Structure 1
């Protein structure tokens, strides 16, 4: 049985006439007659009682009509789903990111353009993000560094200044900015090796010949924050990641341009996919320049 044959039967049953069914489907009446007769002869059933130009469903025809209605209702739903997905009125965007800070603004911007699209976010390290893209478990990724891999397309989204934060008891807390050389011999709590914030600051310190005193190396932003509050030392932070709170002060570095970056990426082969393309376009259309803390 072909769908066109069932469609002809359904049209005749709904209109009550072979002639009307042909007009409804924009085909000739002999075509409708042939399609229906094929069903009846192929399965040795009678679908209609015929009386002149009038037709009436048999009991078996009534049963088949119920199934045909379900089939064509599902077909209409499928068409609607495909159409809505193409116009981005439904569907899901899967985002993989190295952390919540950079991606939050992106998701807010995307939601403004496509409020009916569901967005799911997974977080992990850089390798996790790339693996999710390669395995098609994520549509787009957000990393803090540029990826040197031809399989991926990566574009810069934003750059954020690196600043220093200290507890209220620290002398820096009374100031809005410091110079890089003032970090000489300062007790510092730093992130683990591989941290983009740490790397950016270390390159600037090395270039300036400045050596702070590293007293702790911690792999958690939250634990570093607590260590600073307790007066263990000061710490560096990308301004987008700084969480203000009682007892903490953010201090700009006035004489050095130190930044961390956010990069938006996807598999190069998927850049033309409707959802991926919409995300890139929405984010880039609302991208704003980074702002430094007041100096």
Structure 2
């Protein structure tokens, strides 16, 4: 049995929008038309793709699996249309960026926006592992990540290097110093991001190599939470130097005794690197790297 293209398109539109009403409006179709197409797809295979809850819908487990496939399908269709229909002029279009820090992406976005004012952008922030997953799952077009990658499916270039620094509450016992060796972490409480964060990965690796054992670890889910926890006295925080913002409640400390330099990379799926929007973003990054 051949899968109905219209049924898949209707399903994808509803899954993406979260409701039949929003999907109908986005696709300029009537809601009954979409409902009929989705129901025909479900009936043809004797499955349920959505749980209906009033005007909202929720994907069933099968629907979630199908949505992963239709995302690839319709992303490829959009790419083909973009390539053939001339958005290479970049007079319009939408670029989805996933970044592990807004700090590292804004310069390239500002440059691209100035050159192509008709473009729109969306930016999501996650840890280094999450943003790579987003380009692999076709959720994002490009990723800014501190995680180097040798996967042949991924194309990447180095954007910049940054150093990790420590910071503490202004009344912390180490606040009288401007720099500390890695050995100073011994017996100290530390505050770090969740696993998947390159900041955590690097500092834990350096501590292990130096055979330094901190006391307690407080794990939090965002940079803002790290900052708040450190200011409240929960321990030593670690962050990229470019991300640290001066605060009278915090003391910045340079780290010594190990290599704390970390690269930041721009990445995309290798087969998408020649798409006009993606290619142009990489060109903006290259100009920043070269200082032009």
| Alpha-carbon separation, structure 2, partners of 1:271 and 1:247 | 44
How far did residue 251 of structure 1 move? 0.7
Q: Alignment partner for residue 96 of structure 2, among 65, 78, 94? A: 94
Contact kept? 2:98, 2:123, Cα under 8 Å: yes
| Alpha-carbon separation, structure 2, partners of 1:230 and 1:252 | 21
Q: How does 1:1-295 map to 2 (within 5 A)?
A: 85-125=87-127, 129-130=131-132, 132-134=134-136, 136-287=138-289
Secondary structure of the residue that 2:175 maps to in structure 1? helix
Secondary structure of the residue that 1:256 maps to in structure 2? coil
2:26 is aligned to none
- Would the alpha carbon gap of residues 176 and 116 (structure 1) be closer, same or farther in structure 2, given more than 3 Å must change? farther
- Would the alpha carbon gap of residues 130 and 251 (structure 1) be closer, same or farther in structure 2, given more than 3 Å must change? closer
Residue by residue over 1:18-77, the C-alpha shift from the partner in whole angstroms, topping out at 9 and shown as x without a partner, is xxxxxxxxxxxxxxxxxxxxxxxxxxxxxxxxxxxxxxxxxxxxxxxxxxxxxxxxxxxx
* RMSD between superposed Cα atoms in Å: 2.6
Secondary structure of the residue that 1:106 maps to in structure 2? helix
How far did residue 135 of structure 1 move? 5.2
| Alpha-carbon separation, structure 2, partners of 1:123 and 1:275 | 20
How far did residue 188 of structure 1 move? 1.6
1:50 is aligned to none
How far did residue 277 of structure 1 move? 1.2
- Would the alpha carbon gap of residues 179 and 125 (structure 1) be closer, same or farther in structure 2, given more than 3 Å must change? closer
Contact kept? 2:132, 2:145, Cα under 8 Å: no
How far did residue 130 of structure 1 move? 4.3
Gaps of 5+ in 1: 1-81, 290-295
Gaps of 5+ in 2: 1-84
Secondary structure of the residue that 1:286 maps to in structure 2? helix
Secondary structure of the residue that 2:123 maps to in structure 1? strand
Secondary structure of the residue that 2:274 maps to in structure 1? coil
- TM-score, with structure 1 as normaliser: 0.62
2:25 is aligned to none
Larger-Rg structure: 1
| Alpha-carbon separation, structure 2, partners of 1:141 and 1:116 | 21
**How many residues of Structure 1 are paired with residues of Structure 2 in the alignment?**
208
Contact kept? 2:189, 2:215, Cα under 8 Å: yes
- TM-score, with structure 2 as normaliser: 0.63
- Would the alpha carbon gap of residues 267 and 253 (structure 1) be closer, same or farther in structure 2, given more than 3 Å must change? same
How far did residue 136 of structure 1 move? 4.2
Q: Structure 1 residues 185-194 or 131-140, which shifts more?
A: 131-140
